[in-house]
Structure 1
């Protein structure tokens, strides 16, 4: 197949939802190097957007909700998810709390737990824990006002010097075959840095985030992890996570 026709076929595959490199390799019978080269070429022509581990259609993202909107949405479900996550934390644990309002809800349950060390890039967590006896380490870096979190090279450097027992992540969406999606590459990569340093990984998302590819930057989850969501999540979507074999799914009721 000529290069132009091959890339046109790959473009159609990506537009049809075939977004990760391994799936494209299997579908076209091509090497990973060839697939990545073609994806780079298509991205260079602004026909697709490159993501971690694959590609996405141009314009496939949704506008990012404001912080106030996120604070008010699904509040009861976030509290229930936070309570369930809190049950996984033990005396003496060092835990990482990611940016987001659900992880901020978890922080409130940790207030006064002097035996737990919290590491975070979430500025909302500071208000919940700074005046309590809970040991707290704030990761520095560039402040992202829309999520009230820190990220960037400085945050990545600090995380490379730390390890945690348990990491709790939020996300704009979580897809069984692709991982966690975020609005920026910096957010996605920071999660990847934490995942490498964590003994156990938990993803805390409300049902509306399950199976949702609302943004264009991805953090792959290629290890054992636990998904905690609310009972409104569609059974078919949750089954895709269970079938992976490396994901424990926990649902909570409000």
Structure 2
């Protein structure tokens, strides 16, 4: 395994567990203590992790949310598996909404061969991914958030109520049983609230690291969400909790 691959796996493990001891890391990565120390030193110099007594911890983003560039490569295997699962819910002739986010972007890669599909989006990467396909694209107009590669808008800029969305695929930064789904940015959250209210079916595409987090702005309660699609690393306790609510938890097959 190349150093960059080991270091990516280390960050992925820390994203889930937050703190890990050296013996645990050695076992997970299958490397020598010297190699482990070199990788830790490299990541510490990059400001991605912090050394603590007997182990390491993840350095949380200074302002809460990681950059889009980081999110595009973090948990990529899990996000790809989630995207494939979401693709199975999308049928020829559907009108769907693809939210701005690293997981929903992966969905765009799998739907290009659908027939008579209309995609409404506020995501610049989704637009670029689908630009040369046969898919009908409708772009929400408004203010561009350059760092997020997204467009945020308001009722006076875009008439949301003219949209007829059959299935919306929404991202979230946090998911809890009592508070539902949440996000760091107010403008993004407001747009998502509108889409959730207007859509016939709402799917939240979120990797397992998002569970148990309730971040800055609430988007919707679980009673407003039809499906939460996640990866196989989701905790068994979370699966049990979803047995008690109407929202269906869908776990990817990979």
- With normalisation by structure 1, the TM-score equals 0.71
User: 1:237: how far off?
Assistant: 2.2
**Which residue matches 1:89?**
90
Root mean square deviation, CA, Å: 1.8
- The answer (yes or no) to whether the contact 1:229–1:251 under 8 Å persists in 2 is yes
**Are 1:238 and 2:239 counterparts?**
yes
- Three-state SS of the structure 2 residue aligned to 1:153 is coil
In structure 2, runs of 5+ residues without a counterpart are: 1-61
1:89-141: CA deviation from partner (whole Å, max 9, x where unpaired): 11110000001011111011112424110000111101110111111111111
The 10-residue stretch of structure 1 (64-73 or 157-166) with the greater mean CA deviation from structure 2? 157-166
1:17-73: CA deviation from partner (whole Å, max 9, x where unpaired): xxxxxxxxxxxxxxxxxxxxxxxxxxxxxxxxxxxxxxxxxxxx9621011110110
**Which residue matches 1:205?**
206
- Three-state SS of the structure 1 residue aligned to 2:181 is strand
User: 1:196: how far off?
Assistant: 1.3
Matches within 5 A, 1:33-112: 63-112=64-113
Separation in 2 of the partners of 1:85 and 1:103?
A: 9
Separation in 2 of the partners of 1:87 and 1:113?
A: 11
Separation in 1 of the partners of 2:206 and 2:225?
A: 17
- With normalisation by structure 2, the TM-score equals 0.71
Structure 1 stretches of 4+ with a deviation exceeding 4 A read none
Matches within 5 A, 1:145-224: 145-153=146-154, 157-213=158-214, 215-221=215-221, 222-224=223-225
- The answer (yes or no) to whether the contact 1:188–1:219 under 8 Å persists in 2 is yes
- The answer (yes or no) to whether the contact 1:95–1:117 under 8 Å persists in 2 is yes
- Three-state SS of the structure 2 residue aligned to 1:201 is strand
Separation in 2 of the partners of 1:175 and 1:62?
A: 21
